[in-house]
């Protein structure tokens, strides 16, 4: 009882600011306010894009040449990830091993996903997403301490990777130990979760971020 009361009194008496507390609190508050602004801006941009899409449909109804232009624009939008896609493909679940003691080899890393995504593109995938984040030309997959940042969005395991394309070819490629030696070794030795299923229909969402082209002409 005495120990507890002393601990309580000591924590109350600590009135001087602990240096690391201040940046932590400031960062936490900044993250909350930036996150709110991010959602508002994303929502506003989505509404504007929807308005523009509706106007493009209207333009399509005018001259033949205009229809061709809008169709070309739509085709390019599909290619770069601005439209959701569905088709045959595979789903891969990558997650930390279900062990009590986690170590570097038993957890899913950003580098694992970079290797996997590279292999899927090499196997002619036409669209890929990780935890609903579409992989596009500007996507980087980075480890931020114990989370993974994809398209500037923080995400955590289990990672649900979806790829559209020839499902048999992609499944064979990712199940081949020679193609992903590090992952397959850790699956065997450490219990890393890596499950691959072929699907007749996989849905991949549209990219919800922003492309900014300022320097390329």
Partner 1 sequence: MTKVRALSLTLAMILFAVLIGILVGHQIVIKKGIDQALDPNTTESMAIEVAQLIKDNQDLRKKRDILIDERDKFLNQSTNRRAAVEAVNSNIDEYGIIAGTSQVTGKGVAVTISHEMALTQIIDLVNAIRNSGAEALSINGRRIVASSGFTANDLQKNYRLEIIGNPRVLADALERKGGILDQITNGQVEEKDGLVLPPLGA
Structure tokens at 44: 């506003």
* Cα–Cα distances in angstroms (integers) from residue 172 to residues 86, 91, 129, 175, 179, in the given order: 21, 13, 19, 5, 10
Report the nearest approach of partner 1 to the CB of residue 4 (Å): 4
Report the nearest approach of partner 1 to the CB of residue 166 (Å): 14
- Cβ proximity to partner 1, 123 vs 167, nearer residue: 123
196 in Cβ contact with 94 (< 8 Å): no
Structure tokens at 164: 């559209």
Report the nearest approach of partner 1 to the CB of residue 14 (Å): 9
Report the nearest approach of partner 1 to the CB of residue 24 (Å): 4
Report the nearest approach of partner 1 to the CB of residue 113 (Å): 10
- Cβ proximity to partner 1, 99 vs 140, nearer residue: 140
- Cβ proximity to partner 1, 19 vs 100, nearer residue: 19
208 in Cβ contact with 42 (< 8 Å): yes
- Cβ proximity to partner 1, 30 vs 189, nearer residue: 30
For residue 127, with 0-12 CB atoms within 10 Å meaning exposed, 13-18 middle and 19 or more buried, which class applies?
Answer: buried
- Cβ proximity to partner 1, 56 vs 198, nearer residue: 56
The residues, any chain, with a CB within 8 Å of residue 187's CB and separated by 6 or more, are: 193, 194
């Amino acid at each position: 009882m005495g120990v507890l009361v002393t601990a309580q009194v000591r924590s109350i008496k600590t009135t001087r600011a602990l240096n690391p507390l201040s940046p932590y609190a400031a960062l936490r508050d900044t993250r909350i306010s930036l996150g709110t602004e991010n959602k508002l801006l994303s929502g506003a941009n989505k509404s504007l894009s929807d308005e523009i899409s509706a106007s493009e449909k209207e333009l399509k109804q005018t001259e033949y040449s205009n229809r061709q232009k809008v169709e070309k624009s739509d085709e390019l939008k599909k290619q770069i990830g601005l439209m959701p896609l569905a088709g045959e493909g595979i789903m891969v679940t990558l997650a930390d091993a279900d062990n009590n003691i986690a170590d570097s080899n038993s957890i899913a890393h950003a580098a694992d996903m970079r290797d996997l995504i590279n292999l899927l593109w090499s196997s002619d995938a036409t669209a890929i997403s990780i935890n609903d984040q579409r992989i596009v030309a500007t996507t980087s997959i980075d480890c931020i301490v114990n989370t993974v940042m994809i398209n500037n969005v923080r995400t955590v395991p289990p990672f649900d990777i979806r790829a559209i394309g020839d499902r048999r070819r992609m499944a064979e490629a990712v199940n081949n130990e020679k193609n992903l030696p590090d992952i397959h070794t850790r699956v065997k030795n450490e219990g890393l979760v890596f499950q691959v299923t072929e699907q007749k229909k996989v849905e991949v969402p549209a990219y919800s971020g922003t492309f900014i082209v300022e320097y390329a002409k």
